[in-house]
Amino acid sequence: MRGMYTKEAQAQAKLMEAAVERIHPGALARLRADPLGELRLWNDLTIVEIDESSDSSRCSVAGSYQPNPPTLVVTNSLSFARRGFTALHELGHHLQQNDIALGATIFGYSDPDLFEEEACDSFAAGVLLPDDELLTRIGPRGPTAQDVVDLYSVHSSASREACCVWAARHLQGAGAVVLLDSAGVVRFAASRSFIPPAKNSDQSHTPLIEAALRNPGAGASRDETYVTYRNGGASDIVYGQARWFDANYLVAVFAPDNAAWKSLSLPRPDTGSAGSPRWWTCETCNESFAVAERCSRCGEPQCPHSHCGCHAKRAAKDRTCRHCFLTLHPSRFEPGSELCRDCV
């Protein structure tokens, strides 16, 4: 579940910033002004721009990192600001995969891939949107949707995505900051201890987004709204506020309580009805999901990636090689050996 490691990712991002300054003194300020221009001057990296349809990365941004040789792949059909955020996100992967201390931190978490991804988002947002300059732009109760719009259009040159990540980091409780297009389709989401709607999911039928789409330029606020998930389920009832960036994009902030735009937004009692889906956390990918299907063999719920109890049972038998540190099936080891067959 994205947003699981918000505070931990912020701490990792600070270490990543320190690593940048150690390798390239003064680079953080230059990266803030022109990420792609600065990175093209680095001899230890290559920047490659590709068409959007060519990239199949699992990153939350439109890009990828290729380690051999170190290459930051950035989609070239995006706005300049978003290309900068993407380049910094991929630089985050490079730093974490090439710095021993940063890499060791990643594998201390139950879902290292998710932690690495969240740290990359936090690093990119932190470079473009430094807290010491911007925290005074929001109130002590956290960001409103209008604060996110102002952050993008008035107070910085960062991308909408970077502004969403920064705002989600400063929510005073659980919640999500979601970027949507003019059709109500999710383009990006950043969250904190809240399951966000999936990218490319249609939220136009939900109470908040439906109202915002009816009020172009003005947006909307709702005390009772929700987000829908790709398995057909929905979140509990939450508070929501939406504001338009321009004619093409709007941002929505969702919060179960502590909504910054309300003088009082108390936590609600359990709003799930008897027919609400049961939530489960996958033991393999650690993603939280509403139970819709169960495996016919083990009877455990299947996550959206088709993991179930069968996968967890197999994973429990896997062993880690003491030399290459790869986690492999027991058949890849000689009886009694701590080294895999490839390392013997």
Reported as a single tens digit per residue, the pLDDT across 131-173 is 888 888 888 899 999 999 999 998 887 889 989 999 998 999 8
More confident residue, 233 or 123: 123
Which tens digit of pLDDT belongs to each residue from 30-51? 998 899 999 999 999 999 988 7
> Quick check: 54 pLDDT over 50?
no
The answer to which of 201-210, 254-263, 317-326 has the lowest mean pLDDT is 317-326
Q: Distance between CA 16 and CA 282 in Å, rounded? A: 29
DSSP character for 154? T
- Global pTM value: 0.66
Q: Distance between CA 11 and CA 135 in Å, rounded? A: 17
Q: What pLDDT score does 290 carry?
A: 67
Terminal Cα distance for the chain, rounded? 38
Across the range 12-27, mean pLDDT stands at 95
What's the CATH number for 136-255?
A: 3.30.450.130
Q: What pLDDT score does 242 carry?
A: 98
- Where in the chain are the domains? 6-128, 136-255, 279-316
> Quick check: 258 pLDDT over 70?
yes
Which tens digit of pLDDT belongs to each residue from 60-104? 566 889 988 999 999 876 678 888 889 999 999 999 999 999 999
* Mean pLDDT computed over every residue of the chain: 85
More confident residue, 297 or 113: 113
**C-alpha separations of 3 from 76, 186, 193 in Å:** 28, 16, 5
Across the range 288-307, mean pLDDT stands at 74
- Classified by CATH at the fold level, domain 6-128 comes out as Arc Repressor Mutant, subunit A (1.10.10)
Residue length of the chain: 344
DSSP character for 193? S
Q: What pLDDT score does 189 carry?
A: 93
Three-state SS for 34-81 is CHHHHHCCCCCCEEEEECHHHCCCCCCCCEEEECCCCEEEEECCCCHH
> Quick check: 25 pLDDT over 90?
yes
User: What is the CA angle 230-161-119, rounded to 5?
Assistant: 85
Q: What pLDDT score does 276 carry?
A: 42
